[in-house]
Amino acid sequence: MAADDLWILGIHMTKFGKHPGQDLVDLASEAVAGALADGGVTMADMGVIGAGSLMAASAGIGQQLQKQLGQTGIPVYNVANACATGATALRVAAMAVKSGEVDMGLAFGVEKLSGAGLLAGGSRL
């Protein structure tokens, strides 16, 4: 493998469907913890986070995830590009690694749309 190649080390998706007992951050945490475990790495190894959630677009979902799984002080890019948001988050991590700025990056996307109504999923406290 060439030094400047880009690789997926770990990747995970939750089951899609109705998850009434899980809010956005629960789902994001499940996916991120799963991806880190799948790659055999930890949050401390990440140099950047690309994060997306259209429903939580203004709420810094990247930082909300950090506050649950690890505030390591790395840059977070909260992105939104409609249905291309997930790919955009992945592009952020890819660009940071490709540029040589970091050697490992995390990207995630999360959404709650089932019963999208008043609070569009809400938040459990």
Selected from 1, 58, 73, 118, the binder of another protein by CB under 8 A is: 1
Give me the least distance between CB of 102 and another protein, in Å please: 8
Residues between 22 and 41 with contacts to another protein, criterion CB under 8 A: 22, 25-36, 38-41
CB of 113 or CB of 119, closer to another protein: 113
Give the per-residue contact string, 60-99, with another protein (x = CB under 8 A; - = no): ------xxxxxx--------xxxxxxxxxxxx-xx--xx-
Q: Is 117 in the site for another protein (CB under 8 A)?
A: no
Q: Is 12 in the site for another protein (CB under 8 A)?
A: yes
Give the per-residue contact string, 40-59, with another protein (x = CB under 8 A; - = no): xxxxx-x-----xxxx----
**SS3 assignment, position 81:** strand
Q: Cα separation of 10 and 20, whole Å?
A: 27
Q: Is 121 in the site for another protein (CB under 8 A)?
A: yes
CB of 8 or CB of 119, closer to another protein: 8
Asked if 69 and 34 count as a contact pair (C-beta separation under 8 A), the reply is no
Q: Cα separation of 72 and 57, whole Å?
A: 22
Q: Would you tell me the crossing angle of helices 61-69 and 24-39 to the nearest 10 degrees?
A: 60
Size of the chain, expressed as the number of residues it contains: 125
Closest CA to 108 of 123, 82, 84, 87: 87
Q: Which residues pair with 81 in a beta bridge?
A: 83
Give me the least distance between CB of 74 and another protein, in Å please: 13
